[in-house]
Amino acid sequence: MSSNEAAPSPGAHTAGAARPGGPAAARVTSRDVARAAGVSQAAVSLVLGGKWRGRVSPGKAEAVRAAARELGYRPNLAARSLRMGRTRTVLLVVPALTTEFFARVYTGAARVAAEHGFGVVLYPSPEGIGPARDPFDSAAATLDGVIASSMAAEALTALRDADLPLVMLDSDPADDRAGATVNLDIAHGVRQLTGHLTALGHRRITHLAADVRSWTFEVRARAVAESLQGVPGALLRRQPAALGVDAGLHAAHAALTGPGPRPTALLCDDDIIAAGACKAVRRLGLRIPEDVSVTGFDDLALAVAVEPELTTVRLPAEEFGEAGMRALMTVLDGRPANAPTLPVELVTRGSTAPPQDAPGHATRPGGQ
């Protein structure tokens, strides 16, 4: 990593000066550098590759580096990949990039990858790519490793032939396909959340549960149930919800108008569902948080855009991507993979408050 921290910016300057009027058509190769430095191409490869300890004299090594800088030499990645059998490219499999959460995961992962000289290509789920060719058709041939979210696990079936190093994000640690698994401490976040709600006095809580088969949502459902187990008088119900604002709205409507006593809190599986739930609450003439408290998950930008701002569990999305990429890099180095679990944090905002349980004044038609 510290081997080549040669300054790039002055290099660009001299490169511009070094090519006065010549057409950029002819790419400069390691052989050109060799010629300029008066050494063989092999020496250039050794020097620039950093492994010249006792093979090239310091003087010539410096000459090589100078010539490379002067000519603006960039190694041809295709040739290198062909020779080495490695592409320094990894695949990130996410359910959809248009969700802010995974866009941030990508950002973190790409940053760490860049530090290691790796690139990241995306497989943003079948619905993102649509009916086009399966990226694995060509991609699998030129990948060094894969990071995959548990929410896109089904896409991984296409990869089961190629036994690439694999790091799973937020998935069952018992999954043996993965070389390592990086998790978020979802269960703890849920416990904080339910603790917050019960401390406020909430007992009738409906979990607006994402109807996506995924490890992370299974954990959330289990943690919600378990953490309310010991609370006297707690009445937990479960309302499935698809992902999206509209789906959250419909699910919340069903939850609030269904049989039995009305819940005083809606615990939503993500902020987007929660935003939809807020709309449903208000359309029924109820107030947030006085009549119904609503909580989200993820702490997206959305969480502070809606009103009132959402109490939610902040997931460290970028750090998540960073940790996943770091784990993959250690696996690629042949070292044993660490599999950290990242902490999450409850963020308390205006969408939660003690319930106004007075049984008499349920509906206030006018409202604002």
User: Which residues between 8 and 47 bind DNA (CB under 7 A)?
Assistant: 27, 29-31, 38-43, 45-46
Minimum CB separation of residue 228 from DNA in Å reads: 56
Q: How far is CA 36 from CA 33, 73, 152, in A?
A: 5, 11, 51
The piece of 12-20, 61-69, 179-187, 324-332 that touches a copy of itself (CB under 8 A) is 12-20
Q: Which of 40, 142, 257, 338 binds a copy of itself (CB under 8 A)?
A: 142
Three-class DSSP category at 231 = coil
Omega prior to 308 cis, within 30 of 0: yes
Which one, 51 or 83, has the nearer CB to a copy of itself? Answer: 83
For residue 355, give the nearest of 294, 297, 299 by alpha carbon: 294
Please give the residues from 299 up to 358 whose contact with DNA meets the rule CB under 7 A.
none
Which one, 236 or 332, has the nearer CB to DNA? Answer: 332
Please give the residues from 329 up to 358 whose contact with a copy of itself meets the rule CB under 8 A.
none
Q: Which of a copy of itself, DNA, none binds 66 (CB below 5-8 Å, type-dependent)?
A: none
What is the spatial distance between Cα 90 and Cα 208, in angstroms, rounded to a whole number? 35
Tokens of 342: 């990242």
DSSP per-residue letters across 2-13: -TT---HHHHHH
Asked if 204 contacts 235 with a C-beta cutoff of 8 angstroms, the reply is yes
Asked if 89 contacts 142 with a C-beta cutoff of 8 angstroms, the reply is yes
Q: Cα 257 to chain center, whole Å?
A: 36
Asked if 49 contacts 42 with a C-beta cutoff of 8 angstroms, the reply is no
Q: Which of 50, 162, 261, 357 binds a copy of itself (CB under 8 A)?
A: 162
Q: Which of DNA, a copy of itself, none binds 48 (CB below 5-8 Å, type-dependent)?
A: DNA
Size of the site for a copy of itself (CB under 8 A): 85
Minimum CB separation of residue 284 from a copy of itself in Å reads: 13
Binding mask 273-302 for a copy of itself (x = CB under 8 A): --xx-xx--x----x-------------xx
Binding mask 81-120 for DNA (x = CB under 7 A): -xxxx-----------------------------------
**Contacting residues for 161 by C-beta, under 8 A, at least 6 apart:** 140
Determine how β-strand 166-169 pairs with β-strand 180-184: parallel
Site residues for DNA per CB under 7 A: 27, 29-31, 38-43, 45-46, 48-49, 51, 54-57, 59-60, 73, 75-76, 79-80, 82-85
